[in-house]
Amino acid sequence: MIYAVAILAPLAGALVSGLSGRVIGDRAAQAVSIFVMVLAAVCGSIAFFSLANSDMEPAFVSLGSWVDVGTFHADWDLRYDTLSAAMVAMVTFVSTLIHIYSVGYMGHDKYPKYRFFAYLNLFTFAMLMLVTADNLLQLFFGWEGVGLASYLLIGYWYDRPAACAAAIKAFLVNRIADVFFAVGIALTFVKFGTIEFNSIFAAVPQHVADTYAIFGGSYPALEVIAFLLFIGAMGKSAQIGLHVWLPDAMEGPTPVSALIHAATMVTAGVFLMARMSPVMEFAPTALAFVTFIGATTALFAATVGCVQNDIKRVIAYSTCSQLGYMFAAAGVGAYQVSMYHLITHAFFKALLFLGAGSVIHAMSDEQDMRRMGGLAKYAPWTCALMWIGNLALAGIPPLAGSWSKDAIISATYAAGSGVGTYAFFCTVAAAFLTAFYSWRLLFMTFHGRSNADPHALEHAHESPFVMVGPLLVLAVGAIFAGWLLNNWFIGEGSAEFWRGSIYNLPGKDILARLEQVPTLVEYLPLGMAIAGIALAYLFYIANPRLPVRLADSYAGIYRFLLNKWYFDELYNAILVRPAMRLAAFLWHTGDARLIDGMPNGLAALAAGSSRETVKLQTGSIAVYAFTMLIGVVALVSVFLVFR
């Protein structure tokens, strides 16, 4: 019951503030939104801790029937197991903090604010539906719901063309992935005859040998399903190839970036992997692919993050990279580890984004780090909190990131497979780059010589408490979450904690092997992080001219990274521009010329004929009589010829 309140309260908030916000006003709408979120967070936390501290079996909260056609059934059910409850607790908690933060951040916004809070509520509800879904259709409902809310919030400042373009891009890229996801759901129904998780999971062993014919070949059905679901996850979680929307999504307000594009929505793909682990475990090829993509994304995004100048884009690529870590872990079968990192990452990444928001707020909406610097004395709280967030991100013990990220790196090593080794090297390299770009961000923003516009500096100020307060709470999480959750998520208590909500193939027990990795592997990430920090110090504090010289001497590599590996240009060249050309062709030739042309041409023909016919009417009686006689002659001829 409490569980249902946690999930439905945001819906009520969205309806109240969204539909009647104009009537009750901004303040009341904000109060309603925050109240329902606090309620949801309290209920969600109670539900999670009561589940974690008891030995209850996974349960369901049934909300009613949804689709019941032939053999196809889908109900509105809330799944109440550890995986869902942990996500609910995290989502409601982070979302509540971000709601509160938004009151300060959006305080000077020129639009009515009830719309923003209604969207945030709506997003939270959709995310909760996603994580508590008991069948694939309901999960897809939440999946699309968060996509919609993401679209609405990225394009929140609808009078900015860049924001609208980013919203459309996010929507389209996600649709591409969703097509695969939807096909995966359909294929699941075809193969299993059901989309209920329990029924699917129970039937998986019977379907291991099933094959599915596609693209002229016959493949194991479970592999195909796993691939399709993972491609869906790639879109939502911005993995390489389908990641292009995430950096652009930073056009949205910063709280949105923190909530949707760092802490919650983008992790839906990781959650999906964990949720579908009973199926994924039987698809080794797909899992290898997951690891490969995850590891590649982790490294790729980290390289790009090193040269970006927009503070939010750096953090966006960092998010992309950390999601890659999670997939790499999921791919080697360590779903628990990826969920662990998901939760800790939610704390410190939300902290970083909100801190960046605080900086932007302080600097009168300046986002370019090249025009910052030395802000530590203007915004000491923000600076300290950003340090905590980056320490956690870089994996400096004992902060949260060190626990979960080191576990991922160990897991890839422990996997022992070829792709695992690839992932190990990628993630270790990425750990180095992560530390580098994190401290590059810190140094460029808070330390060193100030390059800021003096005019903006005059107004630079620490953010109000309503913004710093949530940061403090998140900082506590970023410091302690790893230590607190370690035992539950991946430690000795993990089997009892998860209670079967995540499935591992018998004999694969990767969690047990985490402890057995060589000491060198355990300390490698830390060494990498310290090296990265040192390099950042060298580049941006000790010798600020060095990066410029480096960029000049390796201009090709620098431009390659600065332009994000030219993914956008590539997509523009092979997809967007041909599609636009085709559309333009269909528009100009197909629609304007053919479809419009026919009626227009006929109309012009009618009008032209009309002019000509009217000319016949000369008014001369002789012409009239002549016409009549011609008519008679014509008719007689016709008559005699065709008689």
Partner 1 sequence: MNWTTAIPEIFLSVAGLAILVFGVLRGRYSGPGNALVCSMLVLASFAVAAILIIGGNHGIGYNGQFTTDAFSSYAKLLILAGAALGLVLSLDYNRLEGLARFEFPVLVLLSTVGMMVMVSASSMMTLYLGLELQSLSLYVLAAFARDTLRSSEAGLKFFVLGALASGLLLYGISLVYGFSGTMDFNVLARSFADPAGVAPGLIVGVVFIVAGLAFKISAVPFHMWTPDVYEGAPTPVTGFFSTAPKVAAICLIVRLMGTPFGHLLASWQQLIVLVSIASMVLGSLAAIGQTNIKRLMAYSSIGHMGYALIGLAVGTAEGVRGVLIYMVTYVFMNAGTFACLIAMRRRGIALDKISDLSGLGRTDPMLAGWMTVFMFSMAGIPPMSGFFGKLYVFLAAVQAGMWTLAVIGVLTSVIGAYYYLRIIKVMYFDEGGEAFDRRPMSLSVVAAAAGLFTLFFFVFPAPFVGAAQAAARVLFG
Q: Is 642 in the site for partner 1 (CB under 8 A)?
A: yes
CA 469 vs CA 107, 211, 602, 639: distances in Å: 16, 55, 69, 99
Considering the complex, state which of residue 205 and residue 631 has its C-beta at the smaller distance from partner 1: 631
Nearer to partner 1 among residue 206 and residue 613 (C-beta): 613
* Minimum distance, C-beta of residue 627 to partner 1, in the bound complex (Å): 5
Does residue 403 contact residue 486 with C-beta atoms inside 8 Å?
yes
- Shortest Cβ distance from residue 600 to partner 1 (Å)? 13
Instruction: Identify the residue among 69, 209, 520, 640 touching partner 1 (CB under 8 A).
Output: 640
Site for partner 1 in 595-614 (CB under 8 A): 606-607, 609-611, 613-614
User: Nearer to partner 1 by C-beta: 520 or 614?
Assistant: 614
Q: 26: buried, middle or exposed (CB in 10 Å: 19+, 13-18, 0-12)?
A: buried
Min CB(601)–partner 1 separation in Å: 14
Nearest residue (CB) to partner 1, 580 versus 623:
623
Pick 585 or 624: Cβ nearer partner 1: 624
Residue entry with tokens 């302080």 = 362
CB of 643 to partner 1, least distance (A): 6
The verdict on 574 binding partner 1 (CB under 8 A) reads: no
**Which residues partner with 79 through β-bridges?**
60
Neighbours of 49 (CB within 10 A): 12
Q: Would you say 209 or 640 has its CB closer to partner 1? A: 640
Show the site string, 615-634: x = touches partner 1 by CB under 8 A, - = not.
-xx-x-x-xxx-xx-xxx-x
Residues contacting partner 1: total by CB under 8 A: 27
Question: 């002019």: which residue's tokens?
Answer: 611
| Phi, psi for 78 (deg, rounded to 5) | -100, 120
Measured over all CA atoms, what is the biggest interatomic distance in the chain, rounded to whole angstroms? 116
Tell me whether residue 595 or residue 632 sits nearer to partner 1 (CB atom): 632
DSSP H or E stretch at residue 296? helix 284-305
Enter the tokens of residue 127: 């995310």
Cβ pair 367, 401 in contact under 8 A: no
Contact 9, 39 (CB under 8 A): yes
Q: Does 59 bind partner 1 (CB under 8 A)?
A: no
Question: Which tokens belong to 241?
Answer: 């190839």
Length of the chain: 643
> Shortest Cβ distance from residue 592 to partner 1 (Å)?
22
Q: How far is the CB of 610 from partner 1 (least distance, A)?
A: 4
Closest separation between CB of residue 594 and partner 1, Å? 19
Peptide bond preceding 578: is omega within 30 degrees of 0, i.e. cis? no
Identity of the residue, 451 or 609, whose beta carbon is nearer to partner 1 in the bound complex: 609
Q: Could you say which residues in the range 64-93 bind partner 1, by CB under 8 A?
A: none
Cβ-based nearer residue to partner 1, 211 or 627:
627
How does strand 72-80 pair with strand 59-69? antiparallel
> In this structure, are residues 382 and 358 in contact, taking their beta carbons and an 8 Å threshold?
yes
Q: How far apart are CA 24 and CA 246, in angstroms?
A: 34
Contact (Cβ atoms closer than 8 angstroms) between residue 66 and residue 142: no
Among 53, 216, 365, 639, binds partner 1 (CB under 8 A): 639
CB of 617 to partner 1, least distance (A): 6
Shortest reach from residue 626's CB to partner 1, in Å: 9
Residues lying near partner 1 in the complex (CB under 8 A) are found at: 606-607, 609-611, 613-614, 616-617, 619, 621, 623-625, 627-628, 630-632, 634-636, 638-640, 642-643
